[in-house]
Structure 1
């Protein structure tokens, strides 16, 4: 798994976001075992301590759980995953709204553009 990191946010937070998105999409299923710290660190090219912090923060948020001697697993608590999905969708929605406002786009036009994009229609009209 190749990842490109930016300089504007700590790497562990970017890795948390990446894993959270994979959980929301279902790429990582409830109860699925995550790669070991060393394997994920090697795969994405970061220090194992960074991955360890990522897992620790995800566990603090109850998105994953560690089982002593077995590894780290995606939570099986579906309400937690659904709340994560809603939270990420809300953040993306807020970012879209803020971007439209910065461009001077009103709500009706933004919603029209969103509908066109959702329906895979051509560019703005």
Structure 2
């Protein structure tokens, strides 16, 4: 029995969000978001990526920034280039059902938050309450 062909779904440029006020370069933000979306299962192998121009326009960034992120994701074998058709999520890229692996993707951001909370002399309970509120969308 042969495995089923990967489905192709056209992803939208609103898949990405960037924070311009941080020290993290925008291309790196895009790469990290792709890794998280893939690990979380929101994107799947075979999904067609939005064009560089679409993403750049939607985010208000230089197209070379998006192109750099896509090229680096291709080098990591997370994206595949289809000549004349654009980029797709690579067939060998797969999400992780392992909660621990997905939590590890959050660690760098949470460590930054912990440092900032400590510098602001905030109680852990207050920070956790704020995070809980944000996660619930309130």
TM-score range normalised by the length of the shorter chain: 0.5 to 0.7
Counterpart of 2:53 in structure 1 is 38
Is contact 1:5–1:14 with CA below 8 Å preserved after alignment? Answer: no
- With normalisation by structure 1, the TM-score equals 0.64
Counterpart of 1:54 in structure 2 is 69
Is contact 2:26–2:65 with CA below 8 Å preserved after alignment? Answer: yes
- 1:5-56 alpha-carbon deviations (Å, 9 max, x no partner): 3331111001111222222222222110000000011111111000000000
Distance (Å, rounded) in 1 between the aligned partners of 2:104 and 2:51: 31
Is contact 2:47–2:88 with CA below 8 Å preserved after alignment? Answer: yes
Aligned-residue CA RMSD (Å): 3.3
Q: Spell out structure 1 runs of 4+ moving beyond 6 A.
A: none
Is contact 2:46–2:88 with CA below 8 Å preserved after alignment? Answer: yes
Is contact 1:63–1:81 with CA below 8 Å preserved after alignment? Answer: no
- With normalisation by structure 2, the TM-score equals 0.59
Gaps of 5+ in 1: 104-112, 118-125
Greater helix content: 1
